[in-house]
Structure 1
Amino acid sequence: MLFEEYVYNIKRIFESYFKYIFEMEKEGNLDLWGNTLLYPNILLITNCSGFYVAELIGAVRKYDGLKVKIHKEKSIYRYLSQFDDSEPVSNDSKLDSCVYLDSDRTYIKGLGLARNADFKVVKERFPSIELYNSILNWTGEKGKGSVISFGPNFESCLIENCVLVNRLDNLYRCKNILAAYIFKSSSPKQKLIDFFSQVLSGKEVKGIHTIQWQLEEQLVIAGQLQNIYLFPSLHETTIGEFLKLHPETIKKAFKTEHFEYEPYLKWLEHDGTCEDTAINPDLLIKRSDGYYDIYDLKTAALAKENITKGGRKRRRFIDYVEEGVAQLVNYEEYFTYLKNAVHAKEKYGIEIKNPKLVLVVGSWENSSPEEVVQARRRYTGVEIIDYDTFCHLFIGAKISSS
């Protein structure tokens, strides 16, 4: 089956299904057993060189369609392990995974899969792991690679409400999966149709979170966010799209009642050297005094061991971060010109005064708080926040107000 055909059919199936389920809920025709439903709002479809994956992402109370994102990944094992594309093998080169899939229509639900994991360490960074009651922790050979492997007879599977605890040496990453449908790329269209006819025809609702208490909702959203920014090679735009579709993450983490996402502001006045026609900052966040601060979103920079470089006295950011800082300064300059400031106020109601400049980049893996402080000594008014800290600010804000 061609990838384009897979995308078309998956999109059509899910849009029809979730629209039907949401209508059923509104009409009171679903037995919720005291639960609240949270619907996905992003459909990430990935070509993994021999495998096609459709993963449902997001958690909102009202279904309002799916934003389809297309991604290309060189290996199904890098997709699942979040680190690299090596097959799951032990020290003696034998296949070493928690689950081995070698058939058609396999269904894995409500399970955590890990290998030699220290869950005290895992929970500190990934609080959403508390949502999973059953975790299979493989404690045999040390091994490496994905906790799921595939045999030559594999055709299709559904992984639903599962967490994969991935490890590389002393680093951990958790992949929280609401629902991921994996197919061999050589599978014919009819097999896909038959698979979904079987999976979605039962009485149990599929591809939707069910929660019982308020903090659980925050943990679900936080887990989905961590899944997004720890996704190998995923674009900044997809991270931004998730935050836009889950505005409570920004409002709670940064303590604001209002923000503007990607406002488009024309350069009406400058010093004559500007070649751009407009600025398009990721976020303008309203402060308690009514003025706005400027935020820019990069990625977690997973391929970088550290977002700083040099010894203490010469500590500085790597180029990737420097570019983000330079962009923030450029945005700040825009508002120093009267015509630009008036334009921003008229179009969006935005006013800027002594703005805080904030760059969201990196993670706990590559962002040492001490080194970041040292690297930003030559900047004034610029803050660096990594994605794990951002995620914990969101969860912590909700805890303190519950």
Structure 2
Amino acid sequence: MLFDKFVEQVSGYWRQYFSAKSLEKDKGRLTFPEGHEVLFPNMILFTNCSGYYTCELLGVSEKYTGLTLKRHSEKSIYRYLSQFDDDEPDPIFRIDEFSRSAGITFSQTSDLDKVAERFPCVELTKSALVRENGSGSLLGFGERFQYCILDECLFVNVREEYYRCKNVLHLMIVKNNVNSGGLENIFKFYMGEKEVHGMHCVPTEDVQRQLVAGQLQNLFLLRGLHETTLGEFFRLHPEVVHGAFKTTNFLYEPFLNWIEHDGTCEDVAINPDLLVRREDGFYDIYDLKTALVDKQNVTKGGRKRRRFIDYVEEGVAQLANYREYFTYPENAKFAREKYQIEVNAPNLVLVVGNWDNSDSDEVFQACRRYPDVKIIDYDTLCHLFLGATADKRQ
């Protein structure tokens, strides 16, 4: 089956399913444990791996407002699951034909308390299958493999001192030779059960926040993920921005035409990722890059020449360009009239990197050239959202 056909057929099944469940919920016919809330996903991510297709549901929403569809490509299914490499694995569990698992943590370490320092979502699952001293993906697939479905599972991956955690609401993996009839049979079997599928059932708002943070960590640790996919997650989950940056209001991707400039500008407009309101009513400027999972460090050079790698430097330069836009009175007037925003001496914030490649001392040293620029990595952002301290790194 072609990947586009897989995307079309599977997304159609899920949209139809959630539309029906949304009606049931509105009419009070959707049953769930007392004191719990049933929440819908709002993103669906399809990944084309070598020989395999995956479909993953993401996001948390009180109402079903549709599924934002995103595509991704990965070198192999084993790198997708292990989050580190694509070597032939020593799996904890091998699937020969088909399988379904629910509520299980597949882990390469028994020290889940240590993992929870970075990934608090680990605390949400109780059952764990542990494989220590192995290598590669925790799941393996036999020659006759057809499909597997994972609901509310976690994958805890370890390489040397580095941790990864994949927080799964629903993940379907199929062999790419599946046909339309085969997919239909899978969904008829899966959806035919009385239980609710692909939805969160949470007891408290704190758990909901852990789920949101865990799924954001799941996303930004995907190798090669597009910046637009990360940006879409923030758009669909404004509570992350409100909580992490302590703001009452922000704008996502405002389109601001260059009305006035020095004559050298060839761009039509600026399109910053976020404009975030400060306590004084003015707005700061934020740019969302990626977590740079493939990079060992976001800086380079020794202490006295510490500077950022080119990708980060480009982000800083982009922020400076956004700041320049607001120095021209006609541009500032346009922004005020179109979006009711004012920018004055803005802080410039670049979200980039993760705990593995962002040493706080080195980042501070590299920022010496840019006193009005702040660098925040994605793991720290998640912990700011959860209200945790960012100093739990060891």
TM-score band by shorter chain is: over 0.9
Within 5 Å, which residues of 2 pair with 1:242-257?
A: 242-257=233-248
Match of 1:91 in 2: none
> Does residue 1:101 correspond to 2:95, yes or no?
yes
Q: Name the residue aligned to 1:48.
A: 49
Shift of 1:117: 4.7
Q: Deviations over 1:243-297 (max 9, x none)?
A: 1000000001101111000000011111111111100000000111111000000
The aligned counterpart of 1:68 is 69
Which whole-Å deviations, capped at 9, do the CAs of 1:120-165 have from their partners, x for residues lacking one?
32111001100011111113xx222111111101001101100000
**1:24-74 alpha-carbon deviations (Å, 9 max, x no partner):** 011000111121012111111111111110110111111100011111112
* Structure 2: distance between partners of 1:358 and 1:37: 35
The secondary structure found in structure 2 opposite 1:12 is helix
Q: Report whether the alignment pairs 1:367 with 2:358.
A: yes
Q: How many angstroms does 1:241 deviate by?
A: 0.2
| CA distance in structure 1 between the partners assigned to 2:352 and 2:228 by the alignment | 14
Q: Does residue 126 of the first structure (1) align with residue 82 of the second (2)?
A: no
Q: Secondary structure at the match of 1:383?
A: strand
> How far did residue 350 of structure 1 move?
1.0
Partner SS, residue 165 of structure 1 = strand
Deviation at 1:115, TM superposition (A): 1.4
Shift of 1:397: 7.1
C-alpha contact 1:40 1:59 (8 A) present in aligned 2: yes
> Does 154-163 or 79-88 show the bigger shift?
79-88
Q: Where do 5+ consecutive residues of structure 2 fail to align?
A: 390-394
Question: In the alignment, is residue 18 of structure 1 matched against residue 18 of structure 2?
Answer: yes
Aligned to 1:176: 167
What is the SS of the residue equivalent to 1:152? coil
Q: Are positions 1:307 and 2:298 aligned together?
A: yes
Pairing 1:160–2:151 present: yes
Q: Structure 2 CA distance, aligned partners of 1:4 and 1:328?
A: 36
**SS in structure 1 opposite 2:387?**
helix
Aligned 1:3-402 pairs, distance under 5 A: 3-34=3-34, 35-88=36-89, 96-104=90-98, 106-139=99-132, 142-396=133-387
Alignment RMSD: 1.1
Alignment TM-score, normalising by the size of structure 1 = 0.95
SS of 2:332's equivalent in the other structure is: helix
Distance 1:119 1:45 in 2: 29
For residues 226 and 198 of structure 1, the distance between their equivalents in structure 2, rounded to whole angstroms, comes to 31
SS in 1 for 2:342: coil
- Counterpart secondary structure, 1:14: helix
Q: What CA distance in whole angstroms lies between the structure 2 residues aligned with 1:129 and 1:61?
A: 23
Q: Any runs of at least 4 consecutive aligned residues in structure 1 with deviations exceeding 2 A, and if so which?
A: 116-121
Q: What is the CA distance between 1:386 and its match in structure 2?
A: 0.3
Match for 2:106: what amino acid? L
The separation in 1 between residues aligned to 2:267 and 2:6, in whole angstroms, is 39
- Partner AA of 1:26 in structure 2: D
| Equivalent AA in structure 2 for residue 334 of structure 1 | Y
Residue identity in the other structure for 1:97 = P
Instruction: Please say which of residues 181-190 and 247-256 is displaced more in the overlay.
Output: 181-190
Letter in 2 for 1:98: I
**Which secondary structure state, in structure 2, belongs to the residue aligned with residue 205 of structure 1?**
coil
SS in 2 for 1:122: helix
Q: Contact between 2:109 and 2:156, CA under 8 Å: does it hold in 1?
A: no
Q: Give 1:53's aligned amino acid.
A: T
In 2, distance between residues paired with 1:302 and 1:125? 15
Q: Which amino acid is the alignment partner of residue 242 of structure 1?
A: F
**How many matched pairs?**
388
User: What percent identity do the matched residue pairs reach?
Assistant: 53
- Does the 8 Å contact 1:161/1:177 carry over to 2? yes
1:205-227 deviations in whole A, cap 9, x for unaligned?
00001100121011011101101
What's the TM-score, normalizing by structure 2? 0.97
